[in-house]
Structure 1
Amino acid sequence: MPDPTLCTEEDITRLIHAFYTRVRDDEALGPIFDAHIDDWSLHLTRMVDFWSSILRGTDRFSGTPMPKHIALPDLNAELFQRWLKLFHKTAAEQSNQAMAEQICMMADRIARSLWMGYQISHHPEVMPVGLPHG
């Protein structure tokens, strides 16, 4: 349930910008993101809006993330886990740990959902498998 008192817009912006700096610097994730994001400023704004909507209930984000992720070629569980590991690491460094705990829980759910949808879309004949925990 969104809670406008959980964090500020600045808390979210700080985490998202730090996280995507790491993503862009990551040897596996960076090239994937750079190949598919033409305007990083716009992407960061949309990601802040996305997380603000989830965490604070601002309703600033509208869109459907699943089709954009399904359209990416050659994703695998290891890439999703790498994304989550960087996300958790960045969140753990934030001063607002109540927000960090909530955002990590939501990121885990979202990553698992995107991974399941990706598998179903690309290999409908195969039973999808979840992301390993950890």
Structure 2
Amino acid sequence: MSDTDLADEQRRAAIVQQMREQTGIDESMIERLVRGFYARIREDALLGPIFDARIQDWEPHLQRMCSFWSSVVLSSGVYHGQPMRMHLPLPVEGRHFDHWLELFEQTARELFSEQIADYFLERARRIATSLEMGIATSQGIFLGKGERFERR
């Protein structure tokens, strides 16, 4: 490992530690949220079939989602993926994102204090909005502020 790589790794570790201290969130909390949330998703009548049609082995997906949320919440940089590309082919619209957020909020509020749940939810809402807008745009629909995507 070069000196530059080592310095970058140390900088990243310091940022992650700072985020843990600022938010009160750590990797074990992220894992509890991810596992609890996706357990709900898998049992859900609306979202479960969409996920089950695409995910045969759940453990790699759960690990990927833990990495994703670690990158989102702790600035860890451990997630290396393309969420938009992965979501574009899904048969989802605004109501799916609303329901996804409902299940996410239920899970976060059951597991954590209001402050920590709100921290996760603020980011989840931004992610859902971004994905919904991206999917709509890929279908040639440009959403205005407050508009929701509905498949034709």
Compute the TM-score of the two structures, normalised by the length of structure 1: 0.88
Aligned residue in 2 for 1:4: 20
**Residue pair 2:133, 2:142 contacting (<8 A) in 1 also:** no
What CA deviation, in whole Å up to 9, does each residue of 1:39-93 have, x standing for no partner? 2000000101111111112111011100110011x31111110000000111111
Distance 1:52 1:77, change over 3 A: same
Identity of aligned residues (%): 39
Asked if residue 58 in structure 1 is aligned to residue 76 in structure 2, the reply is: yes
Name which of 133, 137, 143 aligns with 1:128: 143
**Residue pair 1:4, 1:57 contacting (<8 A) in 2 also:** no
Aligned residue in 2 for 1:101: 118
C-alpha deviation, 1:95, in angstroms: 2.9
CA distance in 2, matches of 1:9, 1:131: 33
Determine which structure has more spread, i.e. the larger CA radius of gyration.
2
CA distance in 1, matches of 2:67, 2:55: 17
SS at match of 2:127: helix
Of 3-12 and 84-93, more deviation after overlay is shown by 3-12
CA distance in 2, matches of 1:47, 1:41: 10
Structure 2 regions of 5+ residues with no counterpart?
1-14
User: Pairwise CA RMSD of aligned residues?
Assistant: 1.9
Structure 1 residue runs of 4+, over 4 Å off? Answer: none
The letter for the 2-side match of 1:20 is Y
CA distance in 2, matches of 1:96, 1:53: 21
CA distance in 2, matches of 1:115, 1:4: 29
Aligned residue in 1 for 2:136: 119
Asked if residue 49 in structure 1 is aligned to residue 67 in structure 2, the reply is: yes
Aligned residue in 2 for 1:67: 85
SS at match of 1:90: helix
What CA deviation, in whole Å up to 9, does each residue of 1:74-117 have, x standing for no partner? 31111110000000111111134432111100000000000000
Query: Relative contact order: is structure 1 or structure 2 higher (C-alpha 8 Å, sep ≥ 6)?
Result: 1
C-alpha deviation, 1:23, in angstroms: 0.3
The letter for the 2-side match of 1:110 is I
**Residue pair 2:36, 2:107 contacting (<8 A) in 1 also:** yes
